[in-house]
Amino acid sequence: MDLWYTEKHSENVGITMKATQTLFSGKSEFQQLDIIETLEYGKMMLLDGLVMVTERDEFVYHDMITHPALFTHPNPKKVLVIGGGDGGTIREI
């Protein structure tokens, strides 16, 4: 059986990729969390059906939310990270 994930961006645009398996699927009172294994992006985390982070390109997201703030401050010694559940922001600091 083929397993495919599709995220629609509009009525005319979307992205579809082949997944090899669902690693986790769970629902809290706040959101649906799914982790799937894909052929192109490795492990992919979805919140409410939308891609949040993938193994292959997560560094792009974390670089852009971490480095501008660190480079702007003349001497960053203490940093507060709120959220950051996947740990990528802390890794960049």
Task: Please spell the DSSP secondary structure of 44-73, one letter per residue.
Answer: EEEETTEEEEETTTHHHHHHHHHHHHHHHS
Map tokens 């971490």 to a residue: 66
Q: pLDDT for 53-78, tens place per residue?
A: 899 988 888 888 889 989 999 998 88
Predicted confidence at residue 1, as pLDDT, reads: 66
Asked if residue 46 and residue 10 are part of one domain, the reply reads yes
Q: What percent of the chain has pLDDT over 70?
A: 99
CA neighbours closer than 13 Å in the CB half-sphere of residue 37: 5
Asked if residue 62 and residue 29 are part of one domain, the reply reads no
Asked if residue 32 and residue 14 are part of one domain, the reply reads yes
Predicted confidence at residue 21, as pLDDT, reads: 96
Asked if residue 66 and residue 45 are part of one domain, the reply reads no
| Domain that residue 62 falls in | 57-93
CA distance 88 to 62: 6
Predicted confidence at residue 88, as pLDDT, reads: 84
Query: Whole-number mean pLDDT of the chain?
Result: 91
Q: Does the pTM exceed 0.85?
A: no
